[in-house]
Amino acid sequence: MNIINILIKNGRVIDPSQDIDGTYEVFIEGGKIQGLYPQGKGPKAEKSIDASGCIVIPGLVDMHVHLRDPGFEYKETIQTGTMAAVRGGFTSVCCMPNTNPVNDNKTVTEFILRKTYAEGSCYVYPIGTITKGQKGEELAEMGMMKKAGCVAFSDDGKPVTDSLVMRRALEYSRIFDVPVISHCEDLRLSDGGVINEGFISTNLGLKGIPKAAEEVMVARDIALCELTGGRLHIAHVSTEGSVRLIRDAKARGINVTAETCPHYFSLAEDAVRNYNTNAKVNPPLRTERDIEAIKKGLKDNTIDVIATDHAPHHVDDKSNKEFDAASFGISGLETAFSLGLKLVEKGVFGLKELIIKMSLTPSRILKISKGTLAVNADGDITIINIGREFTVDAGKFLSKGKNTPFDGWRLKGAVVKTIARGRVYEWE
Partner 1 sequence: MFKTKDLLGIKDLTADEINHILDTASGFKDVLARDIKKVPALRGKTVVNLFFEPSTRTRTSFELAAKRLSTDVVNFSVTTSSITKGETLRDTALSIQALGADFVVVRHGTAGVPHFLSGVLKASVINAGDGTNEHPTQALLDFFTIRSHKGKIEGLNVVIVGDIAHSRVAKSNIYGLIKLGANVRLICPPTLMPAEINKRNVEVFNSIEQGIKDADVVMALRIQMERQGKGFFPSLEEYFDLYGLTGERLRLAKDDAIVMHPGPINRGVEIASDVADGRQSVVLEQVTNGLAVRMAVLYLLSGVKE
Q: Min. distance of Cβ 328 from partner 1 in angstroms?
A: 15
Indicate which single residue of 39, 52, 107, 320 sits in contact with partner 1 (rule: CB under 8 A). 320
Close Cβ partners of 331 (under 8 Å, ≥ 6 residues apart):
84, 310, 311, 312, 313, 394, 397, 399, 401, 402, 403, 404
Strand partners, 56: 13, 383
CA–CA distance, 235 with 283 (Å, rounded to integer): 10
**Comparison of 205 and 347: residue with beta carbon closer to partner 1:** 205
Q: Which stretch binds partner 1 (CB under 8 A): 5-13, 70-78, 147-155, 197-205?
A: 197-205
Q: Which is nearer to partner 1, 149 or 198 (CB)?
A: 198
Under the binding rule (CB under 8 A), the answer on residue 403 touching partner 1 is no
Is residue 314 near partner 1 by the rule CB under 8 A?
no
Near partner 1 by CB under 8 A: residue from 104, 156, 197, 304: 197
What does the per-residue mask of binding to partner 1 show for 331-370, with x meaning CB under 8 A?
----------------------------------------
Which residues between 266 and 305 bind partner 1 (CB under 8 A)? 274-275
Which among 214-222, 258-266, 317-325, 347-355 is the span making contact with partner 1, rule CB under 8 A?
A: 317-325
**Cβ proximity of 384 and 414 under 8 Å:** yes
Phi, psi of 38 (to 5 degrees): -60, 160
Q: Which of 198, 212, 270, 352 binds partner 1 (CB under 8 A)?
A: 198
Residue 25: Cβ within 10 Å count: 24
**Quick one: residue 235, left, alpha or beta (phi over 0 = left, psi -120 to 50 = alpha)?**
beta
We find the least distance from the C-beta atom of residue 331 to partner 1, in angstroms, to be 21
| Strands 179-182, 152-154: pairing kind | parallel
Q: Given candidates 157, 208, 284, 401, which one binds partner 1 under the rule CB under 8 A?
A: 208
Q: Of the ranges 205-213, 295-303, 332-340, 371-379, which one interacts with partner 1 (CB under 8 A)?
A: 205-213
Give the total of residues touching partner 1 (CB under 8 A).
20
Q: Report which of 195, 178, 189 is spatially closest to residue 230, judged by C-alpha positions.
A: 178
Q: How many CA atoms lie within 13 A of 297 on its CB side?
A: 33
- Binding span for partner 1 by CB under 8 A among 33-41, 82-90, 117-125, 314-322: 314-322
Phi (first) and psi of residue 3, to 5 degrees: -120, 140
Residue 363, φ and ψ in degrees, nearest 5 = -65, -40
Which one of 20-28, 117-125, 135-143, 191-199 is the stretch in contact with partner 1 (CB under 8 A)? Answer: 191-199
Cα within 13 Å of Cα(153), Cβ side: 37
Instruction: Decide if residue 321 touches partner 1 (CB under 8 A).
Output: yes
Check binding of 329 to partner 1 (CB under 8 A): no
**Which residues, 77 to 116, sit near partner 1 by CB under 8 A?**
none
- Contact in structure between 138 and 160 (CB atoms under 8 Å): no
| Strand arrangement, sheet containing 256-260 | 60-65, 90-95, 123-128, 152-154, 179-182, 231-234, 256-260, 305-306
- Candidate ranges 59-67, 90-98, 313-321, 344-352; the one touching partner 1 (CB under 8 A): 313-321
Smallest distance, Å, CB 141 to partner 1? 36
Q: Which residues are catalytic?
A: 309
Q: Please say whether the beta carbons of 185 and 282 come within 8 A.
A: yes
Task: Give CA–CA dist 297/205, Å, rounded.
Answer: 32
Q: Which residues touch 62 (CB under 8 Å, ≥6 apart)? A: 85, 90, 92, 93, 94, 307, 308, 310, 333, 336, 358, 362
Q: In 211-327, at which residue ranges do the beta strands (DSSP E only) sit?
A: 231-234, 256-260, 305-306
Query: Contact between 74 and partner 1 (CB under 8 A)?
Result: no
Strands (E), 219-378: 231-234, 256-260, 305-306
Residue 205 as a binder of partner 1 (CB under 8 A): the answer is yes
**Contacting partner 1 (CB under 8 A), which of 323, 328, 390, 409?**
323
Q: Does 202 bind partner 1 (CB under 8 A)?
A: yes
Q: Does 187 bind partner 1 (CB under 8 A)?
A: no
Residue 376 contacts partner 1 per CB under 8 A: no
Q: Which is nearer to partner 1, 4 or 325 (CB)?
A: 325
Q: Which residues bind partner 1 (CB under 8 A)?
A: 197-199, 201-208, 274-275, 316, 320-325
